[in-house]
C-alpha cells in the first residue's frame, strides 16, 4: 500500500476499534485506489481519503417496542449517512441480530462507490437494527417498524436520505415503515424505496439485484467469449437476491443447482426450475419457510451447515451475506473450473478469497459493481415518484440492463487505464471514487 493510503488506513483502525468489517472494506478500497492516487496528487492534497473514510453523520438510537406477551423489548437503531457529495444519501436498512455499528459502516462505505458507479445522483448511506424479524408475528414486526420510524423520520427525506431494504427488510417491513412515516409527516413524498406497487413502488425493483448480478456476469463472460446459456450455477442464500438470480438464470438458459440459508444448503443437480422454482418462491415469500423444506419436498440433498462452494459449477453467485466465501471455498471453486463470480451479496468473499480469485484469472465481479442493480432501480423508483409516473416492466428492465452494461464497461475500462486489466475490484473502486472525489473537491471542504 502507498504511504498515504497506509497512513489513512492505520488512522481508521485506531479511531474505529472493534469494527473489523469496516476495516476490511476500507482496506480493500484504499489498496485498489493506489494507481489512481499515484497518478493524481490532487486527492492527497485535498485530503480526500481522510475525509471519505469519516461518515458525514452517524445516528444511533433506542427502539422500544412491545411484543405479543405485552413485554417491552429494546433494540438499537442505526443510520450512517456516509457521503452526500453526488446526491441525497441512499442505502438499505438491515434488520439482523448481527447488526452493530461496524457492519453498518462497512455497508455504508461500500455504498458510496456503488451508488456512484450506477451513474445516478445518489450519495452513500446504510442503516438498520439488531432486531431479528425471524420468528416474530406480523404485529410484532409492525410495532417494531413503527417505533424505528418514530426516530428515523427526523433524519430522512426525499432530498436528504432515501433508505431501502436489505437483509431482513422486505416489502412487509418497508410497508410498515412507510405507513408510519406518512402518519407522522402527513406526506407521501416517497421517502423509502422498495415500496409496494400499489403505493409508489417500481416494477422490477424486487427483481433488480438478482437480475443485475446475472447481467453483470453476462458482461464479464462476453469478455472471455462465453455466454450464460448452458452454464451450471451455484447460488447461496434464499432471500430476495437469490430468488431473482435464479429466475434470471432460468430465463437465460442456465441451470442453478444450489440455494442456502443460515442452517444449510440444498443441492438439486437437475436445476431449480419450473414447478420447483415456483415452490421455492412461495416457500420463501409467502410462508417464510426454511430451505430444508425444498429438499424434503423434492427429495434432493440437504447439507446441514454447509455452503455451496464445494459443488462443481461454471458460475457462482454468492447472495447471502458478508464473508461467506473463505479461502478454502475460493480454492474449491477455482479447482472445480469456475469461470466467473458475481457477488450479489455485499463483501461475501474474504480478502484471502478475493486474492485467490484475482490470482487465478477468473472473472471476479465485486459486490459494489455486480449487485448495484438493486440501488440503481431504487434510483429509478425515486425518478418515477418525482415524475408521478410508473414505467412498464419492460422499460425498467431495459434501463436496469443498460445500467449494468455501463457499470461493467466503466469498471473494465478504469482497470485497463490504471494498469490492472481484468481486475474489476480496482476498476470498480477507481471508477466509483473519481466521481465522488471530484465532487468533494468542487464543493470545498465540509
Q: Which sequence positions are flagged as catalytic?
A: 126
Q: Which stretch binds ligand NDP (CB under 6 A): 250-258, 325-333, 343-351, 412-420?
A: 343-351
Under the binding rule (CB under 6 A), the answer on residue 234 touching ligand NDP is no
Say how far apart CA 252 and CA 158 lie, in whole Å.
Answer: 36
Under the binding rule (CB under 6 A), the answer on residue 329 touching ligand NDP is no
Say how far apart CA 192 and CA 200 lie, in whole Å.
Answer: 10
Chosen residue from 21, 28, 140, 261 binding ligand NDP by CB under 6 A: 261
Residues 357-396 that bind ligand NDP (CB under 6 A): 371, 374
C-beta of residue 258 within 8 angstroms of C-beta of residue 311 = yes
Q: Which residues contact 101 (CB under 8 A, 6 or more apart)?
A: 19, 58, 60, 78, 80
Say how far apart CA 192 and CA 189 lie, in whole Å.
Answer: 9
Chosen residue from 167, 330, 362, 380 binding ligand NDP by CB under 6 A: 167
User: By C-beta, is 87 or 374 nearer to ligand NDP?
Assistant: 374
Give the sign of the dihedral formed by CA 350, CA 356, CA 359, CA 360. negative
Chosen residue from 140, 166, 268, 329 binding ligand NDP by CB under 6 A: 166
Under the binding rule (CB under 6 A), the answer on residue 346 touching ligand NDP is yes
Under the binding rule (CB under 6 A), the answer on residue 165 touching ligand NDP is yes
Q: Which stretch binds ligand NDP (CB under 6 A): 32-40, 56-64, 247-255, 338-346?
A: 338-346
CB of 281 to ligand NDP, least distance (A): 12
Chosen residue from 103, 156, 174, 241 binding ligand NDP by CB under 6 A: 241
Chosen residue from 36, 177, 191, 320 binding ligand NDP by CB under 6 A: 320
CB of 210 to ligand NDP, least distance (A): 8
Per rule CB under 6 A, count of chain residues that contact ligand NDP: 22
CB of 206 to ligand NDP, least distance (A): 8
C-beta of residue 86 within 8 angstroms of C-beta of residue 122 = yes
Per the document, the length of the chain is 446
Under the binding rule (CB under 6 A), the answer on residue 344 touching ligand NDP is yes
What cell does 186 get?
402527513
CB of 443 to ligand NDP, least distance (A): 27
What cell does 158 get?
426525499
Say how far apart CA 37 and CA 44 lie, in whole Å.
Answer: 7
Pairing status of strand 89-95 against strand 123-129: parallel
Under the binding rule (CB under 6 A), the answer on residue 240 touching ligand NDP is yes
User: By C-beta, is 146 or 371 nearer to ligand NDP?
Assistant: 371
Under the binding rule (CB under 6 A), the answer on residue 265 touching ligand NDP is no
Q: Which residues contact 19 (CB under 8 A, 6 or more apart)?
A: 101, 102, 105, 106
Under the binding rule (CB under 6 A), the answer on residue 308 touching ligand NDP is no
CB of 429 to ligand NDP, least distance (A): 17
User: By C-beta, is 36 or 349 nearer to ligand NDP?
Assistant: 349
User: By C-beta, is 35 or 432 nearer to ligand NDP?
Assistant: 432
Residue of 363, 309, 369 whose CA lies nearest to 339: 363
User: By C-beta, is 48 or 295 nearer to ligand NDP?
Assistant: 295
Distances, alpha carbon 153 to alpha carbons 93, 134, 177, 265, in Å: 13, 24, 9, 38
Q: Which stretch binds ligand NDP (CB under 6 A): 42-50, 182-190, 317-325, 353-361?
A: 317-325
Chosen residue from 11, 262, 273, 406 binding ligand NDP by CB under 6 A: 262
CB of 39 to ligand NDP, least distance (A): 30
C-beta of residue 372 within 8 angstroms of C-beta of residue 407 = yes
Say how far apart CA 337 and CA 362 lie, in whole Å.
Answer: 9
Q: Which stretch binds ligand NDP (CB under 6 A): 23-31, 160-168, 332-340, 417-425?
A: 160-168
What cell does 32 get?
485498489
Q: Which residues contact 184 (CB under 8 A, 6 or more apart)?
A: 149, 150, 153
C-beta of residue 119 within 8 angstroms of C-beta of residue 127 = no
CB of 328 to ligand NDP, least distance (A): 17
C-beta of residue 207 within 8 angstroms of C-beta of residue 172 = no
Q: Which residues contact 71 (CB under 8 A, 6 or more apart)?
A: none
Under the binding rule (CB under 6 A), the answer on residue 238 touching ligand NDP is yes
CB of 305 to ligand NDP, least distance (A): 10
Binding site for ligand NDP (CB under 6 A): 165-168, 170, 209, 237-241, 261-263, 319-321, 344-346, 371, 374
Amino acid at each position: 500500500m502507498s504511504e498515504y493510503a497506509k497512513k489513512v488506513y492505520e488512522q481508521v483502525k485506531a479511531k474505529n476499534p472493534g469494527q473489523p468489517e469496516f476495516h476490511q472494506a476500507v482496506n480493500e478500497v484504499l489498496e485498489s485506489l493506489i494507481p489512481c492516487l499515484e497518478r493524481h496528487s490532487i486527492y492527497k492534497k485535498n485530503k480526500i481519503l481522510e475525509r471519505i473514510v469519516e461518515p458525514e453523520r452517524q445516528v444511533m438510537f433506542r427502539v422500544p417496542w412491545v411484543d405479543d406477551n405485552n413485554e417491552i423489548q429494546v433494540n438499537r437503531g442505526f443510520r450512517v449517512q456516509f457521503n452526500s457529495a453526488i446526491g441525497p444519501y441512499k442505502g438499505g436498512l438491515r434488520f439482523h441480530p448481527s447488526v452493530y455499528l461496524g457492519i453498518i459502516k462497512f455497508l455504508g462505505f461500500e455504498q458510496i462507490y456503488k451508488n456512484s458507479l450506477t451513474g445516478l445522483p445518489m450519495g452513500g448511506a446504510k442503516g438498520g437494527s439488531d432486531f431479528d424479524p425471524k420468528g416474530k408475528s406480523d404485529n410484532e414486526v409492525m410495532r417494531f417498524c413503527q417505533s424505528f420510524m418514530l426516530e428515523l423520520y427526523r433524519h430522512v427525506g426525499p432530498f436528504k436520505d432515501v433508505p431501502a431494504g436489505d437483509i431482513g427488510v422486505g416489502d412487509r417491513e418497508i410497508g410498515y415503515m412507510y405507513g408510519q412515516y406518512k402518519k407522522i409527516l402527513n406526506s407521501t413524498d416517497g421517502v423509502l424505496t422498495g415500496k409496494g406497487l400499489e403505493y409508489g413502488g417500481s416494477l422490477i425493483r424486487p427483481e433488480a439485484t438478482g437480475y443485475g448480478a446475472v447481467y453483470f456476469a453476462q458482461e464479464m463472460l462476453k469478455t472471455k467469449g462465453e455466454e450464460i446459456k448452458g452454464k451450471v450455477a451455484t447460488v447461496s442464500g434464499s432471500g430476495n437476491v437469490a430468488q431473482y438470480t435464479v429466475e434470471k438464470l432460468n430465463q437465460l438458459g442456465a441451470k442453478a443447482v444450489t440455494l442456502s440459508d443460515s442452517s444449510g444448503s440444498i443441492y438439486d443437480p437437475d436445476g431449480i426450475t419450473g414447478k420447483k422454482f415456483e415452490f421455492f418462491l412461495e416457500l420463501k415469500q409467502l410462508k417464510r419457510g426454511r430451505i430444508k423444506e425444498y429438499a424434503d419436498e423434492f427429495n434432493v440433498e440437504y447439507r446441514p451447515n454447509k455452503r455451496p462452494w464445494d459443488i462443481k459449477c461454471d458460475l457462482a453467485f454468492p447472495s447471502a451475506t458478508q464473508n461467506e466465501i473463505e479461502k478454502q471455498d475460493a480454492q474449491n471453486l477455482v479447482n472445480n473450473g469456475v469461470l466467473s463470480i458475481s457477488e450479489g451479496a455485499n463483501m461475501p468473499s474474504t480478502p484471502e478469497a478475493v486474492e485467490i480469485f484475482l490470482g487465478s484469472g477468473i472473472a471476479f465481479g465485486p459486490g459494489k459493481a455486480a449487485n448495484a442493480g438493486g440501488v440503481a432501480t431504487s434510483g429509478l423508483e425515486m425518478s418515477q415518484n418525482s415524475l408521478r409516473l410508473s414505467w412498464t416492466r419492460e422499460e425498467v428492465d431495459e434501463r436496469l440492463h443498460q445500467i449494468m452494461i455501463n457499470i461493467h464497461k466503466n469498471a473494465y475500462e478504469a482497470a485497463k487505464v490504471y494498469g490492472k486489466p481484468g481486475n474489476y475490484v480496482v476498476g470498480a473502486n477507481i471508477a466509483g471514487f473519481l466521481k465522488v472525489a471530484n465532487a468533494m473537491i468542487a464543493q470545498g471542504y465540509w
